[in-house]
Amino acid sequence: MTTDDRQLAKARLDRRIKACRKCKRPDRLNVPGITASAPGFGSIDSPVAIVGEALCKACMDAQEPFYRGSGAVLDRCFKRAGYAKAELFVTNSIHCHPPEDRDPLPHETANCAAFLREELREIVRPRLVIGVGKFARSAVRLIYPEARELNWPFRVPRSTQSEPPDLTYLVFPPHPYWIMTRPAPIREHYEKRVARAIAWAFETAPTRPT
C-alpha cells in the first residue's frame, strides 16, 4: 500500500469512526458534543504509535487524543525525544468520550477494535506501539499477538538483527495521568524512558516504500 493509498484509507476510516453508532448502552457514544469520537491524530508515516484508553472531554472538544491534561506528560516525552506530537501517531483503544471520563466498557472496546486494528496494522504500521493504561494494553495485545513485548522501563533491545524487519514491538508504561501524581524523580525517569523508546523506533525504523 503506497503512502497515497494509506492517506485515502485513513480519510475513509476517519469518516467511518465519526459515523459509528454501535455503542448505545448503557450510554450512547459518539453523540456530537457529548460523547463524540476523534480519530487517530498525527503522522501515518510515524514508526511510533501511542495508544491510550479513551477520549477525555478536553480531547473530545479539541478532537485530539491526549490534548493537555495527562497529554502534557507525553508532550514532554516527545520534546525530549526531539519530535513534535504531530510527527507521531496518537490514538485510543476506543475513539469516543465516555461520560464523566469513566473507564471503557468491554463491549465498547470490542466495538472499536476493528477501527484500532485498521489504524495500526493497515495504515500506520508502526515499528513500536506504546500502550498506556490497562485497557490500551489489552487492546494492543489482541491486535498484535505475534509482536515482541519489551519490558518497562524501556531499554534498547540488545539485538534485533535476527528478527524480521517488519516485526512490531510493544511497550506498556504506566498511564501518564498516574505519572502526574508521582514525585519529580519518578516523573523524570518516566519521561526519559518513553523518550528513549520513541527515539529508538525512529532511529531503527526501516525505510518505507512511497
- Burial bucket for residue 102 (CB in 10 Å: 0-12, 13-18, 19+): exposed
DSSP 3-state of 170: strand
- The tens place of each residue's pLDDT in the chain, 210 residues long, gives 899 999 999 999 999 999 999 999 999 999 999 999 999 999 999 999 999 999 999 999 999 999 999 999 999 999 999 999 999 999 999 999 999 999 999 999 999 999 999 999 999 999 999 999 999 999 999 999 999 999 999 999 987 777 888 899 999 999 999 999 999 999 999 999 999 999 999 999 988 777
- CB within 8 A of 37, min separation 6: which ones? 17, 18, 20, 29, 30, 55, 60, 95, 96, 97
Instruction: Give residue for cell 501511542.
Output: 50
pTM: 0.96
Domains of the chain in start order, with CATH, are 3-152+163-202 (3.40.470.10)
Cβ atoms < 10 Å from Cβ of 25: 8
In angstroms, the CA 24 to CA 116 distance is 19
| Predicted pLDDT at 189 | 98
* Amino acid 82: pLDDT: 98
- CA 21/CA 29 separation, integer angstroms: 7
